[in-house]
Amino acid sequence: MLEIKNASKVYGEGEGRVVALDDVSLQIEKGGFVSITGPSGSGKSTLLNIIGGLERLSAGEIILDGGRIDNLSEDAFVEIRRGKIAYVFQQYHLLQSLTALENVLLPLVFQSRNGHSERALELLKRVGLEKRVHHRPSELSGGEQQRVAIARALVTAPSLILADEPTGNMDRKTGDEIIGLFDELNREGHTIVMVTHNPEIAAHTRETIALQDGRVVQRIQNGGR
Amino acid sequence: MKLYQIVLKDILRRKRRVLYAALGVVIGTMTVVGVLTIAFAGENSVYKQLEKYGANLTIVPAVNSIDAKLGSLSLGTLAVGENYIQESYLPKIREITDGEIRQARSIYGDGPIATIAPRLYENTDVRGVSVIVAGIQPEDERAIKTWWQVRDGDYLKTDTDAIIGSRTAELLALKVGDLIPLNGATVTVVGILDETGSSEDYQVMVPLATLQKAFNKEGLLSTVDIRALCNACPVDLIATSINQNIPGIKAIAVKQIANTEMDLVKKVNTLMISLAGITLVIGVFGVVNTMMTSVHERTRDIGIMRAVGASRRQIIMAFMYEAFVIGVIGGLIGYGGGTLLAYGIGPLIFEGASISFLPEFIPLSLGVAVAVAAVATLYPAVRATRIKIADAFRSL
């Protein structure tokens, strides 16, 4: 469902020129649960940002559900974010002035879809936060905030969930819980691409793509979950 | 949940920031409202002074002076012409006056506009002293002489009533209830006027018809005073038109002094309004600056909203809602501040000007404030949406 063809990303020019992605090609099937790993500066976050349209490719193509998305205008990409792709970030990126429930409803606000509180409540229940729906992010723990962010990602029923170091700010136990939640969501049919520098976490996914210096150096099928 | 609700929740969380942003708007609107309130009071105080001039126009019989000569011997000058105005000219005078006012002020309809007060003067002897008696239309005269105050007794009511000037009462030792002979008829003093400082202090005023009848001067008038009842009425045009269209009378506009004074006030006001305009522009830059900071602080929030599907237009819209709130808050505070400013400074600029609370400036104040806030917010907001989402997350 997701195909990346000869993707390159170059920052800066001349002396300061940095190649973040160097001719990367890969495919991710529907229902996949893929981790992208690598050391800092290997280009793993850049790859994720490029898939999600947060950054632009220097060269190459990205095809999602049969259509090219790398050449869409900013305004056209809005539609992709509204239905096909959702994000989960390391820093959670919740709006501090809104409650957990309101944060989950936020993507629908921009689509002028009102009501749906029940769906949002259901999703909060799904991520185990039914007792924290009216709390603000500042009143929630890191793990809880990430659960809100996951519920927010699910509310638009996206084809693809992109997670950038979702457990990066958590202790091991909380991190394992979040990975467990992603695993469950994957079993329910969600396609997930996750960036992590932690090999143990990567081992929980079905497939691991290892990057180094902007190139794919290894693809591992993680069996026996 | 709607976009504006998200904005409101955000504003409530950042109350102090929003108030700070409103401060620039407050300064701008405060100056505009303050200056306009002072300007308004200044013009008003001049208008009030103008009212003391009473009539805007006076009509007198046309009298030509010619040199009387017998051969080469000069016999001085002779007045030639009618000494009276025909009362039958009054409808024509009204037609011309109201017509010019309608045209100048684009007023439609046909009710009377100007106040027209005819007068007839005669002499009579009271206790051996000759006194000028003025025949007046009581209601019209009162409308022109707004400063008339009846000191003792009442104003004219019946045909046989008379009111007298304060000096007349003093010099002739007349009181309310005394009788005044009028060429065979008699009128009763019903009231004494407060001192006016004009020639009326030495006169006796009776109803016009009473005087005309007593002296067999039916249909005749000595002068006609016209008050156009508007401060920008074309009195010169009215005078010219009357002089051209009605023979035997002469209309004189009496507002030259007023004009000079009004011009001065207008110049001062223009200067103040320009200064207010400059302050407003500076205010806009101040608000732009605050909004830049305010928008910058929320770069991350903008990134979040765009990552979950907000379009650029929606982001700009969100900031416009915020600008609206800032504008309304700033406009209300600015209105209050401007009025206080006017109370403080107004009397220093226009001596004796009474500053009044002008609620009609509230919509103006709100309009200016919201416009300033919106203009100042638009640029930072548009700029903020140009930032790449990934950069928005990196920036903080």
Reported ipTM: the value is: 0.92
B124 and B14 within one domain: no
CB of B127 closer than 8 Å to CB of B140? no
Residues in Cβ contact with B229 at an 8 Å cutoff, skipping those fewer than 6 apart: B113, B114, B115
Domain check: are B147 and B245 in the same one? yes
Query: Does B164 lie in the same domain as B140?
Result: yes
B396 touches chain A (CB under 8 A): no
Residues B91, B226, single domain; the answer is: yes
List pLDDT tens digits, range B290-326.
888 888 888 999 999 999 999 999 999 999 999 999 9
In a domain, B73, yes or no: no
| Residue span of the structural domain in which B301 resides | 3-48+261-394
Instruction: Give the model's pLDDT for residue B134.
Output: 92
Same domain, B37 and B145: no
Given B254, B289, B324, the domain boundary residue is B254
Q: What is the mean pLDDT of residues B42-57?
A: 69
Please, which residues 133-162 of chain A have a Cβ atom closer than 8 Å to chain B?
A: 152, 156
Closest CA in chain B for residue A50: B390
Q: What is the 3-state secondary structure (H, E, C) of B308-347?
A: CCCCHHHHHHHHHHHHHHHHHHHHHHHHHHHHHHHHHHHH
**Selected residues 376-395 of chain B with any CB under 8 Å from a CB in chain A:** 388-390, 393
**pLDDT given for residue B82 in this prediction:** 64
The answer to whether residue A59 is domain-embedded is no
- Give the residue from chain B lying closest to A93, CA to CA: B304
pLDDT at A69: 92
Q: Report yes or no on A91 lying in a domain.
A: yes
A199 Cβ neighbours under 8 A, 6+ residues apart:
A37
Question: Is A215 within 8 Å of chain B by CB?
Answer: no
Q: Is A95 helix (H, G, I), strand (E, B) or coil?
A: coil
Residue B370 Cα to chain centre, angstroms:
29
> Do the strands B64-70 and B73-80 form a parallel or antiparallel pair, or are they unpaired?
antiparallel
pLDDT at B212: 92
B196 in Cβ contact with B203 (< 8 Å): no
- pLDDT of amino acid B70: 65
Residue bearing tokens 């632009």: A56
Counting one residue from A and one from B, how many pairs have CB atoms under 8 Å apart?
76
Residue of A nearest to B393 (CA): A93
Contact check, Cβ <8 Å, A111/B309: yes
Question: What are φ and ψ of residue B343, in 5° steps?
Answer: -60, -40
Q: What does the pLDDT look like over B142-166, one tens digit per residue?
A: 888 878 889 889 999 999 999 999 9
Q: What is the pLDDT of residues B194-227, one digit of tens each?
A: 988 788 889 999 999 999 999 998 999 988 988 8
B192 lies in some domain: yes
Is residue B290, in this structure, part of any structural domain at all?
yes
Tell me which chain A residues have a C-beta less than 8 angstroms from the C-beta of B387: none
Counted domains in chain A:
1
**Mean pLDDT per 10-residue run, chain A (225 residues)?**
93 88 92 93 89 89 92 90 93 94 95 87 93 95 94 93 92 91 93 92 93 92 69
- CA nearest to B105, candidates B226, B224, B225, B238: B238
Are residues B250 and B265 both part of a single domain?
Answer: no
Same domain, B297 and B176: no
Instruction: Give the end of a domain, one of B208, B234, B254.
Output: B254
Report how far residue A155's alpha carbon sits from residue A61's, in angstroms, rounded to the nearest whole number: 28
CB contact under 8 A, B307 and A54: yes
Per-residue model confidence (pLDDT) at position A109: 94
- Give the count of domains, chain B: 2
Q: How far is CA B114 from CA A221, B40, B100, B120, in A?
A: 100, 24, 10, 20
pLDDT at B142: 86
Of residues B257 and B104, the one with the higher pLDDT is B104
Which amino acid, B395?
S
Task: Look up residue B88 and give its amino acid.
Answer: S
Residue A16 lies in a domain: no
Among B211, B228, B254, the domain boundary falls at B254
Asked if B6 has any chain A CB less than 8 Å from its own CB, the reply is yes
Percent of chain B beyond pLDDT 90? 29
3-state secondary structure B247-286: CCEEEEECCHHHHHHHHHHHHHHHHHHHHHHHHHHHHHHH
Residue B72 lies in a domain: no
- Dihedral sign for Cα atoms in the order B304, B306, B307, B308: positive
Full domain range(s) for residue A77:
29-42+73-221
Say how far apart CA B193 and CA A184 lie, in whole Å: 101
With CA atoms as reference, report the closest residue to B40 among B366, B339, B369, B368.
Answer: B339
**pLDDT tens track for B230-289:** 666 777 888 888 888 888 888 888 765 566 667 777 888 888 888 888 888 888 888 888
In this structure, the answer to whether residues B367 and B345 fall within a common structural domain is yes
Shortest alpha-carbon distance between residue B14 and chain A (Å): 9
Spatial separation of the C-alpha atoms in residues B224 and B154, rounded to whole Å: 24
Are B336 and B26 in contact by the 8 Å Cβ rule? The answer is: no
- B224 and B306 co-located in one domain: no
- Contact between B88 and B248 under an 8 Å Cβ cutoff? The reply is no
CA-based nearest distance B356→chain A, Å:
43
A114 within domain boundaries: yes
- Name chain A contacts of B297, Cβ cutoff 8 Å: none
In a domain, A22, yes or no: no
Q: Do A106 and B303 touch (CB under 8 A)?
A: no
**Beta bridge mates, A8:** A59
pLDDT of residue B263: 78
- CATH number at A120 reads 3.40.50.300
pLDDT at B176 over 60: yes
> Is the confidence at residue B336, as pLDDT, over 90?
yes
3 state DSSP class of A40: coil
